[in-house]
Amino acid sequence: AQSVTQPDIHITVSEGASLELRCNYSYGATPYLFWYVQSPGQGLQLLLKYFSGDTLVQGIKGFEAEFKRSQSSFNLRKPSVHWSDAAEYFCAVLAMEYGNKLVFGAGTILRVKS
Amino acid sequence: EPEVTQTPSHQVTQMGQEVILRCVPISNHLYFYWYRQILGQKVEFLVSFYNNEISEKSEIFDDQFSVERPDGSNFTLKIRSTKLEDSAMYFCASSELASGTDTQYFGPGTRLTVL
């Protein structure tokens, strides 16, 4: 069955520091992977996605993610965090054979300290 | 930029009452979804809908739930007899194509509180 694990429930980083949010997936076929961000009271906004090709994908707001098949990982990174990045981040895998449903991880809450 | 909209933003209802949550997907999108997020838990898939019929539904989506596209713009989720455990944030999403490579765009959600 498809699943996504985000091992860190909370992460706190200082403004200007680098960030890496971890995501591991379990999926039988070639995965289509996504990172979404949810600010308080807001919906889910797509940061970036991986379908195929280059394993390093660039997204909005200066985020990038690297797909590593050997590690079943799709970690999200940002070289310098801004206070406005404080939000909850969700990794997801697409289960195409099940009506294109997205299977989400539990989320990681990012706090940014000044 | 076009976006998915949802109404109401917050709905409070009594247990056993029927509720209808409304969504307006992006206009040229063909594939529609409902997800929910119980407070403190994962975002969970409920149902996908394409070509006026359900494509896939989860085990959560029992006989108490139904979806409908009553006209060319709205997509609704009905809960016939609400339970306390239906309290959650409900997200609507849409994608342009039925292809798995297409992005799902999410609305801001409706917070349903069942008392």
> What type of residue is B46?
L
C-beta separation of A68 from B23 below 8 A: no
Measure CB to CB from residue A102 to each of B41, B101, B104 and give the nearest one: B104
Q: Measured between alpha carbons, how far is residue B33 from residues A33, A63, B61 in Å?
A: 18, 26, 12
B43 with A44: Cβ contact below 8 A:
yes
Chain B contacts of A60, Cβ < 8 Å?
none
Residues of chain A with pLDDT under 70: none
Which sign does the torsion angle of CA A75, A26, B99, A37 carry? negative
A-chain residues within 8 Å CB-CB of B104?
46, 100, 102
Q: Give residue-wise pLDDT tens across range B61-80.
A: 999 999 999 887 899 999 99
Question: Is residue A20 helix, strand or coil?
Answer: strand
Residue B10 has pLDDT above 80, yes or no: yes
Contacts of B31 in chain A (CB under 8 A): 100
Q: Please indicate whether, in this complex, the C-beta atoms of A101 and B45 are within 8 angstroms of each other.
A: yes
* pLDDT exceeds 70 at position B99: no
| Separation in Å, CA of A55 to nearest CA in chain B | 16
If we measure between CA atoms, which residue out of B46, B48, B58, B40 comes closest to residue B90?
Answer: B46
pLDDT at B98 (0 to 100): 63
Q: What is d(CA A4, CA A107) in angstroms, rounded to the nearest whole number?
A: 10
How close B75 comes to chain A (CA, Å)?
A: 17
**Each residue's pLDDT tens digit, B35-56:** 999 998 899 999 999 989 999 9
Asked whether the beta carbons of residue B104 and residue A51 sit closer than 8 angstroms, the reply is: no
pLDDT, greater one: A27 or B58: B58
